[in-house]
């Protein structure tokens, strides 16, 4: 007996007859099907799905319209900046080397290498922020430029000059005499939150008026190593070479950041870009336009980051902050009572977790501002008040390398450390300006606790645990009662810069003996 599934397909007329019978059965059953709860559920589900898909399309279209509106609002204010830098000789002498009299030669090293182009060119982005011709961009876009050309959205070009530069935040202000400008508006970067949509407009790789979109990936990024005062917005909106100086905008078309740099292994966008917040950029811009310079707050402390073990050794358990390792004499910090070993946890209630956050927080305040500093000293919280001075130099002076003269080592074998005491005159001979005396590392045994902590010959020991030291006796007393298992924080100065190091407790590998 053959299975019915094995038969070939019937002729069309038979198939049509079956279709008629099936249709008749369905028509007779229609009233029952219409009344079936199962069919009602299917119909409802289909309707719900259609509604959800429609809502999703509506949301997507609304987002598209928001991007479109932001781009259209901001585009007339975004400009491409083309720069040209003359050869090194021209910059040094203030003349074009091609115009030198016949036979005149420049000093060795002043001429551009053979084959070098007569000028270096660059491209960046900026935003018009005033109908009077002021433009904001990134400092590094125009810092070395001898000629600056502005290209507007409508194709017009104009020359611009630098009004002021601020390497500390990587912000610059230009001025052009062009008319009919459409200024952009600054938005409130403080209300931005992680996950908010943002758009970037610029000239990546010279492609003018390129719009990209992304989200705010992080806020208050510091210690990135790009500028002195860092408080970046991090975004995954595509930012590439040429976007620098251009706006990062919210969906209202307001500037919430000035694009500064990217983190990239390939040279292109890797999804990590950094922008100076509008709150910072606007203060810098206003200051440059008003005075031609930027005045920054100055506290007068040296600080370092710390792990949990160092914080615990300073009595600051279960907290986060930065450790003070130096206080400038006569500075606002000194007058407020800050001291090495203090752990700064907040400024005006704003949490401080890294040195970069402290620098940015203080630097964003004007000189003369009163600030409240929350600090821990040996576990006790203190609220100190300081009136900020003005930072005069973003750089750090470096002292000559110190080498301690030969002397009889101190008996600190368990630390693998030999110290010597120098008088003021001896210290002056190696470049140390002190009053009284100072304790200097003469040697640190390889593999010893001191060497493992990073201490080396020539380092100056300013503090051991919670005690300041100036003499060998003070150093010995500071170490009394501290066992081999105790982790000891030490304030060490090297090349004019102080830093806490932690000599961790435990037996030295070099001290182990066979049993």
Strand 255-262 relative to strand 247-249, pairing:
antiparallel
The Cα-based distances of 166 to 131, 179, 229, 358 in angstroms read 22, 26, 10, 19
Q: Which two tokens stand for residue 70?
A: 């932001």
Residue 140 among the catalytic residues? yes
The Cα-based distances of 96 to 67, 113, 145, 298, 383 in angstroms read 47, 16, 15, 41, 59
Q: Do 470 and 493 contact (CB within 8 A), yes or no?
A: no
Instruction: Find, among 486, 482, 490, the residue nearest to 505 by Cα.
Output: 486
Residue at token pair 């003499």: 471
Q: Do 135 and 288 contact (CB within 8 A), yes or no?
A: no
Alpha helices in 233-354 (DSSP H): 278-291, 308-313, 332-336
Run of H or E residues at 437: strand 437-444
Cβ neighbours of 143 (radius 10 Å): 14
Catalytic residue, candidates 170, 236, 342, 445: 170
Residue 510 among the catalytic residues? no
Phi and psi for 45 in degrees, rounded to 5? Answer: -65, -40
Instruction: Find, among 353, 171, 339, 365, the residue nearest to 255 by Cα.
Output: 171
Run of H or E residues at 324: strand 322-327
Catalytic residue, candidates 77, 244, 287, 313: 244
Q: Round to whole Å and give the CA distance between 469 and 480.
A: 13
Q: Do 205 and 238 contact (CB within 8 A), yes or no?
A: no
Residue 159 among the catalytic residues? no
Q: Round to whole Å and give the CA distance between 176 and 135.
A: 8
Residue at token pair 């902050």: 321
DSSP per-residue string spanning 224-245: -SS-SS--EEEE-S---TT-TT
DSSP per-residue string spanning 61-111: HHHHHHHHHHHHHHGGGEEEEEEEE--HHHHHHSS-GGGSPTT--PPTT-S
The Cα-based distances of 182 to 77, 84, 210, 245, 481 in angstroms read 5, 26, 18, 17, 71
DSSP state of 27: H
Among all residues, which ones are annotated catalytic? 140, 170, 244
């Amino acid at each position: 007996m053959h299975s019915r599934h094995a038969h070939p397909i019937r002729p069309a007329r038979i198939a049509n007859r079956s279709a008629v019978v099936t249709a008749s059965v369905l028509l007779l059953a229609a009233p029952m099907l219409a009344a079936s709860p199962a069919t009602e559920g299917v119909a409802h589900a289909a309707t719900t799905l259609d509604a959800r898909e429609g809502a999703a399309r509506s949301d997507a279209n609304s987002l598209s319209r928001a991007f479109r509106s932001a781009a259209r609002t901001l585009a007339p204010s975004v400009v491409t900046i083309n720069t040209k830098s003359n050869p090194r000789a021209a910059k040094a002498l203030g003349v074009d080397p091609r115009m030198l009299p016949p036979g005149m030669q420049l000093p060795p090293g002043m001429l551009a290498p053979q084959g070098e182009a007569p000028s270096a060119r660059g491209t960046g982005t900026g935003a018009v922020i005033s109908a009077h011709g002021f433009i904001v961009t990134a400092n590094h876009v125009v810092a070395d430029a001898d000629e600056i050309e502005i290209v507007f959205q409508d194709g017009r070009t104009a020359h611009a000059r630098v009004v002021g530069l601020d390497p500390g935040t990587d912000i610059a202000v230009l001025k052009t005499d062009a008319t009919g400008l459409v200024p952009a508006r600054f938005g409130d970067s403080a209300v931005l939150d992680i996950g908010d949509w943002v758009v970037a407009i610029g000239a990546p790789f010279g492609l003018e008026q390129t719009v990209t979109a992304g989200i705010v990936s992080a806020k208050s990024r510091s210690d990135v190593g790009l500028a002195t005062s860092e408080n970046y917005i991090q975004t995954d909106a595509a930012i590439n070479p040429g976007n620098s100086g251009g706006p990062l905008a919210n969906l209202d078309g307001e500037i919430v950041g000035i694009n500064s740099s990217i983190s990239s292994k390939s040279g292109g966008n890797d999804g990590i870009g950094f922008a100076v917040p509008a709150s910072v950029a606007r203060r810098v811009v206003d200051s440059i336009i008003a005075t031609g310079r930027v005045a920054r707050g100055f506290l007068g402390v040296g600080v370092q980051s710390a792990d949990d073990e160092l914080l615990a050794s300073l009595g600051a358990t279960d907290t986060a902050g930065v450790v003070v390792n130096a206080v400038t004499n006569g500075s606002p910090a000194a007058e407020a009572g800050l001291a090495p070993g203090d752990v700064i946890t907040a400024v005006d209630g704003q949490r401080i977790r890294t040195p970069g956050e402290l620098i940015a927080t203080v630097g964003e305040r004007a000189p003369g501002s009163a600030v409240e500093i929350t600090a821990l000293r040996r576990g006790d919280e203190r609220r100190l008040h300081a009136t900020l001075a003005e930072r005069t130099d973003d750089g750090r002076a470096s002292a000559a390398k110190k080498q301690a003269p030969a002397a009889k080592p101190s008996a600190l074998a368990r630390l693998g450390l030999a110290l010597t005491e120098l008088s003021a005159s001896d210290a002056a001979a190696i470049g140390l300006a002190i009053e009284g005396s100072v304790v200097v590392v003469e040697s640190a045994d390889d593999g010893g606790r001191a060497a493992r902590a990073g201490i080396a010959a020539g380092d100056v020991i300013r503090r051991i645990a919670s005690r300041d030291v100036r003499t060998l006796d003070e150093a010995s007393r500071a170490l009394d009662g501290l066992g081999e298992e105790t982790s000891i924080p030490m304030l060490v100065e090297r090349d004019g810069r102080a830093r806490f190091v932690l000599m961790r407790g435990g037996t030295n590998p070099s001290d182990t003996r066979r049993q």
